[in-house]
Structure 1
Amino acid sequence: MKTFNVPVIYRSPLITAIKNSRKQLDRMKKDFTPTVLDFGPLKVLLARHFGFCFGVENAIEIAFRTLDENPDKRIFLLSEMIHNPHVNNDLLARGVQFIMDTAGKQLVPWESLNPEDIVIIPAFGTTLEIEAKLTSLGIAPLQYNTTCPFVERVWNKAEQIGQQSYTVIVHGKPGHEETRATFSHSTSSTPTVVVKDMAEAQLLATFITGEKPAAEFYELFKGQYSPGFDVVKDLQRVGVVNQTTMLATETQAIADYIRNVMMDRYALTAATAGEHFADARDTLCYATNDNQSAVTGLLQEEADLAIVVGGYNSSNTSHLVELCEERLPTFFISSDEKLVSANEVEHWDFHHKQELHSFTFLPQKEQVTIMLTSGASCPDALVEAVIRKLLSFYGLEHKIEELAAKFK
C-alpha cells in the first residue's frame, strides 16, 4: 500500500516500531490480539490496529504539500479536513481558513472568494452542489481534493446500483459531512434515503411491507430522503451503502435485515434475492473494519479500564468507545493533557455531548491494566504521549526508550 509524507510531528518512534514489528509477524492482518506493554505496576494493552488510516494520511499529505507549494495564496478548507483538533489547529496556525463548520454553517461568505484562491476538499468529500458553487466562482473544485478513496468507492457503488434501478439506503449520521456528500452523489443517480441506525432501518421496513401508510414516511424521515421520493415505488428494489466510519457490524446487520425483509415481502430465495436487494457489502472501509476488529480482539483480554484517544466529533472514534463501554470503564480523551493525575481525568461523554471531570481514574492496586486505542484521525504521537503521561504517574517515563529499542 502507498506510503505518505506525513509531518514528523504526527509520528511516534515507539508506535512506528511497534506497528512495523506487528506487520512483520502478521502480514495478512489475521491476528487481532493486542500488543502487551508491561511496565510492572502499569500494563498497557495496545490495540493491533489504530491511528491514521490511508484516507487520513492521503488528506494530510495533500493539504500540507498545498501549503508548502503556495505560500502567497489564500488557502481555504471547505470544513475540518479530518475530525482531529490537533491537525485542524495546525492547519489554522498555517493560515488556512475554514469556509464552513462541520454542521455546514457558513463561516466565510462565498462571495468573498475569488478565482485565485485555493479551496481544499476535506477527506469526507463534498456535495455536488458545493462543487457547482465553486465552479461558478471560477475555482476548480477538484484541483485540491483530499476525498478518501474509500468514500469515493461508496459513491461509485451507489451510482452502480442506481443505474440498475435500485434505491440507495445510506447507513449514516444524517448531519455528518461524509453522509451529506454521499447522499448528494447518490441522489444524482437514484432515489436515496438515510437511516442512522437499526431502529430507523426497522422503521423504514414498515413502509417496505406496507405496515405503515406511505404518507407517514415523509414526516418520519424528513430531511433524509431525496427530492421526489416515492415511498411506494422507490422501496421495491433497494441496496445498502454506508458512511465509512459507522460500526461495520451494524451496517452489515442493517443490510442483512433489509435483505430478509425484501425476501419475505417478495417471497424470494437466496438465489433470487438480487431481484429486489443489491449486495453492496464491499463498501465497508478496511480501516474501520480493522480498527473495530482490533478492539474486539482487545476486549478478549482482562483489564481495569480502557482509554480511547481521538477527536470528540470523530464518528469512527466514538464507535470504538461504544464497543469498549460494553465491557469496562472507558475514558474518551482528545490528548494526554486530559489525564490530569492518577486520580483525575477529563473525558468526553459522546452520548450527551459533554466533557466530564472524573475524580476516579486509576485503581489502587499492584498492577493496573489499561486497554489503549485511537481513532483513524488520531496521530500516533498523541498515543505515545498518552503512554508517557500514564508512566509519569508511576515515575516510569524512562521506560519508553527501553521499550522502543525492543521493537527495533
Structure 2
Amino acid sequence: MKTFNVPIIYRSPLISAIKQHRKQQDRMKKDFSPTLLDFGPVRILLARHFGFCYGVENAIEIAFKTIDENEGKRIFLLSEMIHNPQVNSDLLSRGVRFLMDTSGKQLIPWEDLRSDDIVIIPAFGTTLEIEARLQAIGITPLQYNTTCPFVERVWNKAEQIAAREYTVIVHGKPKHEETRATFSHSRFHTPTVVVKDMEETHRLAEYIHGRKPAEQFYEEFKGQYSEGFDVTRHLQRVGVVNQTTMLASETQAIADYIKQAIIEKFGLADDQVAAHFADTRDTLCYATNDNQTAVTGMLEATADLAIVVGGYNSSNTSHLVELCEEKLPTYFISSEEKLLSANEILHWDFHHHQELHSTGYLPGKEVVTLLLTSGASCPDAVVEGVIRKLLGFYGLEEKLEEKAAAFS
C-alpha cells in the first residue's frame, strides 16, 4: 500500500515500531489479538489496528503540500479536513481558514472568495451543489481534493445500482459531512433516503410493507429524502450503502432487515431477490472494518477498563467506544491532557454530547490492565502521549523507550 509524507509531529517511534513488528508477524492481517505492553503495575493491551488510515494520511499529505507550495495565497478548507482537533489546529496555525463548521453552517460568506483562492475539499468529500458554487466563483473545485478513495467508492456503488434503477438507502448520520456528500451524489442519479440507525430502518420498512400511510413518510423522514421521492414507487427496488465509518454490524443488520422486508412484501424466492434488492456488498472502508474487528479481538482479554482516543466529533471513534462500552468501563478522550491524574479524568459522553469529570477511573489494584485504541483520524503521537501520561502516574516513564527498543 502507498505510504504518505505525514508530518513527523504526528508520528510515534513506539507505535511505529509496534505496528511494523505486528505487520511482519501477520502480513495477511488475520491475527486481531492486541499487543501487550507490560509495565508491571500497569498492563496496556494495544489494539491490533488503530490510528491514521489511508484516507486520513492521503488528506494530510495533500493539505500540507498545498500549504507549502502556495505561500502567500489565501487557502481555505470547506470544513474540518478530518475529525481531529490537533490536526485541524495545526492547519489553522498555518493560516488555513474554514469556510463552514462540521454541521454545514457558513463561517465565511461565499461572496468573500476570489477566483485565485485555494479551496481544499476535506476527506469526507463534498456535495455537488458546493462544487457548482465553487465553479461559479471561478475556483476549480477538485484541484485540491482530499476526498477519501473509500468514500468515492461508495458514491460509485450508488451510481452503479442507480443505473439499474434501484433506489439508494444510505445508512449514515444525516448531518455528518460524509453522509451529506454521499446523499448529494446519490440523489443526482436516483431517488435516495437516509436512515441513521436500526430504529429508523424499522420505520422505513413499514412504508415498504405499506402499513403506514404514504403521506406520513414525508414528515417522518423530513430532510432525509431526495426531491420528488415517491414512497409508493421508490421503495420497491432498493440497495443499501453507508457512511464508511458506521458500525459494520449495524450496517449489515440494516441491509438484512431491508432485504427481508422486500422479500416478505413481494413474496420472493431466493432466485427472485435481485429483482428488488441490489447486492451492494460491504461499503465500509477497510480501516473501519480492521479497527472495529481489532476492538472485538481486544475485548476478548480480561481488563479493568478501556480508553479510546480521538476527536469528540469523530464518527468512527464513537463506534469503537460503543463496542468497548458493551463490556467495560470506557473513557473516550481526545488527548493525554484529559488524564488529569491517576484519580481524575475528563472524558466525552457522546450519547449526551457532554464532557464528564470522573474520579476513580484507575482501580486501586496491584496490577491494572487497560485496553487502548484510537480512531482513524487520531495521530499515533497522541496515543503515545496517553501511554506516557499513564506511565507517569506510576513513575514508569523511562520504561517507554525500553519498550520501543524491544519492538525495533
Give the TM-score normalised by structure 2.
0.99
Are 2:381 and 1:368 aligned?
no
1:64 corresponds to: 64
1:25 corresponds to: 25
1:212 corresponds to: 212
Cα deviation, residue 272, structure 1: 1.8
CA distance in 2, matches of 1:33, 1:391: 22
SS of residue in 2 equivalent to 1:282: coil
Q: How does 1:385-400 map to 2 (within 5 A)?
A: 385-400=385-400
Q: Could you tell me whether the CA contact under 8 Å between 1:252 and 1:281 is conserved in 2? A: no
Q: Could you tell me whether the CA contact under 8 Å between 1:305 and 1:328 is conserved in 2? A: yes
TM superposition outliers: structure 1 runs of 4+ over 4 Å = none
1:239 corresponds to: 239
Q: How does 1:214-229 map to 2 (within 5 A)?
A: 214-229=214-229
- Structure 1 regions of 5+ residues with no counterpart? none
Counterpart residue type for residue 373 of structure 2:
T
Cα deviation, residue 260, structure 1: 1.0
Identity of aligned residues (%): 76
Are 2:170 and 1:170 aligned?
yes
Deviations 1:295-329 (A, max 9, x none): 00011011000000000000000000010001010
Q: How does 1:197-208 map to 2 (within 5 A)?
A: 197-208=197-208
CA distance in 1, matches of 2:254, 2:26: 31
Counterpart residue type for residue 101 of structure 1:
D
Cα deviation, residue 271, structure 1: 2.1
SS of residue in 2 equivalent to 1:150: helix
CA distance in 2, matches of 1:269, 1:87: 51
* Residue 284 to residue 270, structure 1, CA distance change in 2 (3 Å): farther
CA distance in 2, matches of 1:318, 1:282: 20
Cα deviation, residue 264, structure 1: 1.2
Count how many residue pairs are aligned between Structure 1 and Structure 2.
Answer: 408
1:159 corresponds to: 159
Cα deviation, residue 282, structure 1: 3.2
Cα deviation, residue 123, structure 1: 0.1
Q: Could you tell me whether the CA contact under 8 Å between 1:168 and 1:186 is conserved in 2? A: yes
Q: How does 1:199-348 map to 2 (within 5 A)?
A: 199-348=199-348
Cα deviation, residue 266, structure 1: 1.1
SS of residue in 1 equivalent to 2:255: helix
SS of residue in 1 equivalent to 2:253: helix
Cα deviation, residue 344, structure 1: 0.3
SS of residue in 2 equivalent to 1:347: strand
2:196 corresponds to: 196
1:118 corresponds to: 118
Cα deviation, residue 253, structure 1: 0.7
Counterpart residue type for residue 201 of structure 2:
A
Cα deviation, residue 140, structure 1: 0.1
Cα deviation, residue 268, structure 1: 1.3
Cα deviation, residue 67, structure 1: 0.3
1:182 corresponds to: 182
Cα deviation, residue 198, structure 1: 0.6
Cα deviation, residue 150, structure 1: 0.2
1:12 corresponds to: 12
CA distance in 2, matches of 1:143, 1:45: 42
CA distance in 1, matches of 2:179, 2:75: 25
**Relative to structure 2, which stretch is displaced further, 28-37 or 264-273?**
264-273
CA distance in 1, matches of 2:243, 2:282: 13
CA distance in 2, matches of 1:167, 1:41: 56
**Relative to structure 2, which stretch is displaced further, 236-245 or 258-267?**
258-267
2:38 corresponds to: 38
CA distance in 1, matches of 2:60, 2:269: 46
SS of residue in 1 equivalent to 2:261: helix
SS of residue in 2 equivalent to 1:43: strand
CA distance in 2, matches of 1:389, 1:357: 17
Cα deviation, residue 283, structure 1: 1.3
Cα deviation, residue 68, structure 1: 0.4
CA distance in 2, matches of 1:147, 1:205: 32
CA distance in 1, matches of 2:389, 2:94: 28
CA distance in 1, matches of 2:359, 2:260: 48
SS of residue in 2 equivalent to 1:229: coil
Give the TM-score normalised by structure 1.
0.99
CA distance in 2, matches of 1:311, 1:149: 21
Deviations 1:131-160 (A, max 9, x none): 000000000000000000000000000010
Q: Could you tell me whether the CA contact under 8 Å between 1:171 and 1:196 is conserved in 2? A: yes
